[in-house]
Structure 1
């Protein structure tokens, strides 16, 4: 008689620290329900398990009794050692719902009732279903130690300590005798103390259920039995029999295979090119036991027939070849990769649907607890339900129904059947070897630690090598380059955003866009050029001019910007530092922002278009006057410089400066600087003939004196001609006012001729001066 406990959580949560969970409990004995309890606590559950010692504790999910692996270890350590824990819904990875599992055993229940779920879990476990949970290895640790600390005592403290430590040694000897009687292998380690031992540890190489010692506390001594935890919790199926399946095959160069469970669940679907029959048979046998092999052709192909005979399965083929439209309709609820998968899947589904009415009819006659899939497999093989349900008789997995037309088996088929038997034996051997492998895991871990240490030492040596160092250096350089490029990309994105805003401002009506410079310096100009670019016709708004230099002016001149605007106070500071004059030298408008009122946001801004045009026009007018004054000052300075130099030369040659400076009778009237700039000297439309500036003479001193006199005569003749022209123009203006516009045009031309004459005089002077110095 085997007793099975089934539990299901009723209320509360196992993870809660305030509300303790309550469970429904069902006790099943040999498939019969013995008792049920609607609400019990975990401590009461453990007490009942120690009293009745059930063969199995079944639960639909371990998540109901433990929130994580550590909680599950603690729960299983508190259970009786001889009672395994079974999860009926899956192996922790591939999980199925409890109703699906119950349907395989023809069980029905109310999903909303925890008591019925506990009953179904217990029945499934009693029928051999579910997965056993393995949390511990085959090693158990037994610790014998004192149960209390001696503390501070009086005269009898030493005697009391000797009593405790002696009791620990005595109890350890008793446990050692029990282990020897049980024939178990173990190792011990003890901690010596005053009068005996304070702690002894037994490491027994056996499962906890086989160790004849239990955790207890007696007086001053305590015993703890601790099984060794596995690195990972395992779920082992209790029924290792392969399921019965329906196989659909599409033969050819590329073989399509579809495997269905007897409940219609798709278990496997693939298409493989150039796969041999042996490989295909191996794949199918690894999934389950075929009881029905189907094809979509009216006449079963030879390759499909061979697979059917190897497994001893029943063949299924339609009355006529299945059309493509029918294949799509049959497999529309599934996903397939190609036509081969579609054909094999449609054949398997059609074969399943042809038996489905019979399955539904038989299901009502199957008793509770019977293996529904085994019954369905027997029906496909042609058995009656009475033959299938005969007690103590199992359905042969490889038995083939008696065919109406006996098939002739060749030697290859017999070899395949023989090899299948060997495969089963090898599987059993593999199970035994896997258990042996678990026992060797401990030794393997220690070796892995040693290997890891050796690898670390080798790795340290490799890292010290020059090659690795150079590669690390290259990697570091590559990382730096990557970070640099990332920063560059970030700057380019910011520049792009600013350019977009700048273009949007430029496109505005009645406003011009500004590019803002925080400081008038070369670095700031380069930064602006990198971020937004400084191009021709740009208008710059400079906030500060501290530390300006000629290099910054040269950069702006080379960029050909349209104008520069300063704030009010900055413009005043620029005037005091002669920065505005420097801008005039490079012919770059420098405007004050006091009248323009620019609006700045970040590194861009706007200014009113009409106000800017007015300020720019006013600056150009003042620039023309500035250029004229500059030209006049240059001419006057050159004449003064010449006079000073001539006096020095005359004195050097021994000539009396008083005699040299006396004017001749026909001496020219000295020309003032203001006469040229104010326009008092007028140039006639047809200028008077300019006398020769240089008269050839062997006497160098006289030649030099005559140069100066000729320059003065030329200027005087120009003045005389301009006076005559002026009187003539006045008479003409009195006679006819209608020609005023023409005369104004003539005056402009006269000014241009005047400028040309002065330029000619200066060029001639320079050439003569060079000849004189060369002599």
Structure 2
């Protein structure tokens, strides 16, 4: 079968550049032989070649040379034939390798500076089975049959033409459905009915695009579009799924160490665990690749390693003598192993690789290009010659069929067929051999150890007695130490308390001494007019009656702190000059006047402050207190006068309201001042009746003010010499008598 493969490599230009379109070097390879080479092939010409020749594979070293992004790549894959695979030979965009490295795996060399050579290498590698196929579409295909022209243009709006188009759409849809049924493909159909037939039919076929024998077309009255369903993201599938050949070193025991190398000596796996059984270990190694060689660090391969080797039919390797610890460290140098088990397994694998390394290099020099080097190495390690391996891989019969030369040990291992009973006998014999060795060793050591044990018993008894004595002493010492630590903590606490009390006592003594000084009075400094500051001052120096407080700041004051100071019965509160001005603006002075607590300005007192105590001149303080007392008397009198005036106005307004409720004009019976008491109210008009209204006796006025008619002049005000309290009581008495008379007259 003629297997045609295209290989391309970009020469100039770029798919990302808008100035120059990409030009490619194109190489055609058929059955592993280069057929033709061509330069300066544009992407449009490449697509025409692909549609005309329909190659099996289009090989490229990077898909970024044909598309700048995923959208462009989807568009490119939609243009090429469905049975042509796009293959990226350098990896799956996650694990990428350079093109020379992939070519070296097949012993293929080329000029990296020549695009024709790179295109040839890509095509040959794809023919060898290297690379990953780019999968952009799912296994679902959409087939859409629709009309090709609009029925509303160029006279086609007539019903006969519309019916002709819709009938053609239905006919093509039926033909496609018959093909799908004949191919036994599963599908669903969505139909849009229209006049005379169907305007659009959509088939969703659950099969990949190459399996559907329907071609897209456009012409006449209908068009057919065939599109594969796009995947959510690009996927890559390896062309040939071959397991990697491995050299595995195993260190058996309770903790199993495993190390795996590829045939190039690269570390693939290194681990150690106690959880693996033999079956688990076989499954773990099988997941890594195909073990070619199973190696051990012992000259005689342990039974557990031999059992795993037989499970894979791998080649056994063991050194001529046990590997020394020094040699193990030298072999495992450069690798990060966690414990001795991983070190032993790694050293066994490295030793086996170095044994075969010269043979591997010889195969690399002698092997022709186009063959998988790893497969050649594997066959040679198994005992075949290079010629036999090449003939086998190429499908030709070798000139002479000779059996591989195996060692005697390998022949015996291949000849013996172990069943479950044989394995059990072998395991028991191994156990017996080890037990006999152990018994001999223990019998030689037993005599000497008996003497050592008796001597150690005597020494142990002596040590126990001494340890017991030291333990008793240490317990008593520990109890005493803990008690001492506790007492020291209490002592330090009491010392701090005594120090604070001493400081407080010194300040109180200083304050008392200042109080007793001639011509001076002591001050207690309050940093802020707040409850916390007052509480701190009380705890530190005490807050007693007749104390003088010098407040430095009043920010955030409240009525509660003023009540606390008043409850302490301090003598006075002094404020600095600027603070006193702010207190007046914040109406703090009125609050102190309400509770009758003197608050003085420091402008006239000139207090002297040092720390939390200060002094002020006693004569100036007495003068300030006398001035405060005088102003406080005036303030109280003014407040009482304001209260009386408020009650009088309230009485006058109430009197006018009552008269108006009786339907009488207040101006006829009430003085003018009653009318002025309620400026916002207008007198109600009096309703005139046909019958004469008897005169209404004037309501007697309170005793404090004689009754005056509206026509009379305004009476004189209450003399100021009369006490305010008497005036208030007389007004209330007159008001009660007047209400009593009104009630009696109404009845």
Match in the other structure for 1:55 = 56
What is the match of residue 404 of structure 1? 408
Contact 1:313 1:400 in 2 (8 A): no
Mark the CA change 1:147 to 1:581 in structure 2 (over 3 Å): closer, same or farther: closer
In 2, the alpha carbon distance for the partners of 1:413 and 1:23 equals 63
TM-score after normalising by structure 2: 0.58
User: Within the alignment, does 1:116 sit opposite 2:117 as a pair?
Assistant: yes
Q: Within 1, Cα distance between the matches of 2:333 and 2:419?
A: 38
**Contact 2:608-2:614 at 8 Å conserved across structures:** no
What is the CA–CA distance in structure 1 between the aligned matches of 2:257 and 2:334, rounded to whole Å?
A: 18
Corresponding residue for residue 77 of structure 1: 78
Return the alpha-carbon distance in structure 2 between the equivalents of residues 283 and 565 of structure 1.
89
In structure 2, the CA distance between the partners of 1:587 and 1:414, relative to structure 1 (3 Å rule), is farther
C-alpha RMSD over aligned residues: 4.7
Determine if contact 2:385/2:404 at 8 Å carries over to the other structure. Answer: no
String of CA shifts for 1:483-529, please: whole Å, max 9, x gaps.
Answer: xxxxxxxxxxxxxxxxxxxxxxxxxxxxxxxxxx9xx886xx88x99
Answering whether residue 93 of structure 2 is matched by residue 99 of structure 1, we say no
Aligned counterparts of 2:109 and 2:163: Cα–Cα separation in 1: 65
Q: What is the CA-CA distance between 1:374 and the residue it aligns to?
A: 1.0
Quote the offset at 1:326 in angstroms. 3.1
Is 1:277 the counterpart of 2:286 in the alignment? Answer: no
Alpha-carbon contact 2:529-2:551 (below 8 Å) kept: no
Q: Distance in 2 between matches of 1:235 and 1:558?
A: 90
Q: Aligned pair 1:28/2:22, yes or no? A: no
Structure 1 unpaired stretches of 5+? 417-516, 593-611, 637-775
Counterpart for residue 470 of structure 1: none
**Counterparts of 1:394 and 1:536 in 2: how far apart (Å)?**
112
State the shift of 1:57 in Å.
Answer: 1.4
Which residue number corresponds to residue 463 of structure 1? none
Deviation at residue 334 of structure 1 after TM alignment: 2.4
Matches within 5 A, 1:384-403: 384-390=385-391, 391-392=394-395, 402-403=406-407
Task: For 1:185 and 1:375, locate their aligned partners in 2 and report how far apart those are by CA, in whole Å.
Answer: 45
Describe the SS at the equivalent of 2:151.
Answer: coil
CA 361–152 in structure 1, closer or farther in 2 if over 3 Å, else same: closer
Say if 1:318 and 1:164 are closer, same or farther in 2 by CA, change over 3 A: same
| Partner SS for 1:281 | helix
User: In the comparison of the two structures, how many residue pairs are matched?
Assistant: 504
Provide the C-alpha distance between the structure 2 equivalents of 1:34 and 1:412, rounded to a whole number of angstroms.
56
TM-score by length of 1: 0.56
Given that residues 608 and 615 in structure 2 are in contact (C-alpha distance below 8 angstroms), is that contact kept between their aligned partners in structure 1? no
Inter-partner Cα distance in structure 2 for 1:558 and 1:386:
117
- 1:727 alignment counterpart: none
How has the CA–CA distance of structure 1 residues 243 and 631 changed in structure 2, closer, same or farther, with 3 Å as cutoff? closer
Q: Alpha-carbon deviations, 1:204-252, whole Å to 9, x = none? A: 3332112222222113321100112344543322222322111111111
Change in Cα spacing, 1:575 to 1:138, as seen in structure 2 (3 Å) is: closer
Q: Report the Cα distance in structure 1 between the residues aligned to 2:331 and 2:256, rounded to whole angstroms.
A: 19
**What is the distance in 1 between the residues matched to 2:209 and 2:327?**
60
Check conservation: 2:551, 2:575, Cα contact below 8 A.
yes
Q: Is the 8 A contact 1:312 1:400 kept in 2?
A: no
Using the TM superposition, give the Cα deviation of residue 29 of structure 1 relative to its aligned residue in structure 2, in angstroms: 1.4
- The Cα offsets for residues 568-618 of structure 1, whole Å up to 9 and x where unpaired, read as 4x54343686759969x99999878xxxxxxxxxxxxxxxxxxx9966699
SS of equivalent to 2:366:
coil
SS in 2 for 1:125: helix
CA contact under 8 A between 1:541 and 1:566: conserved in structure 2? yes
Matches within 5 A, 1:582-601: none
Aligned to 1:362: 363
Query: How big is the shift at 1:30?
Result: 1.4
Cα 1:578–1:196 shift into 2, 3 Å: closer
Q: CA deviation at 1:175?
A: 3.0
Distance 1:295 1:162 in 2: 83
Contact kept in structure 1, 2:163 and 2:197, CA below 8 Å: yes
What pairs up with 1:102-501 in 2 under 5 angstroms? 102-152=103-153, 154=155, 157-390=158-391, 391-392=394-395, 402-405=406-409, 406-407=412-413, 409-412=416-419
Q: Secondary structure at the match of 2:351?
A: helix
Secondary structure (helix, strand or coil) at the match of 2:223 reads strand
Q: Secondary structure at the match of 2:616?
A: helix
| Corresponding position: 1:574 with 2:583 | yes
Partner Cα separation in structure 2 for residue 347 and residue 171 of structure 1: 70
SS at 1:145 equivalent: strand
Tell me how far apart the structure 2 counterparts of residues 235 and 121 of structure 1 sit (CA, whole Å): 17
Query: What are the Cα deviations for residues 313-335 of structure 1, in whole angstroms up to 9, with x where unaligned?
Result: 22222344333343333333322
* Distance verdict in 2 for CA 1:298–1:614, change over 3 Å: farther
Change (3 A) 1:193 1:632: closer
Q: Is the 8 A contact 1:314 1:401 kept in 2?
A: no
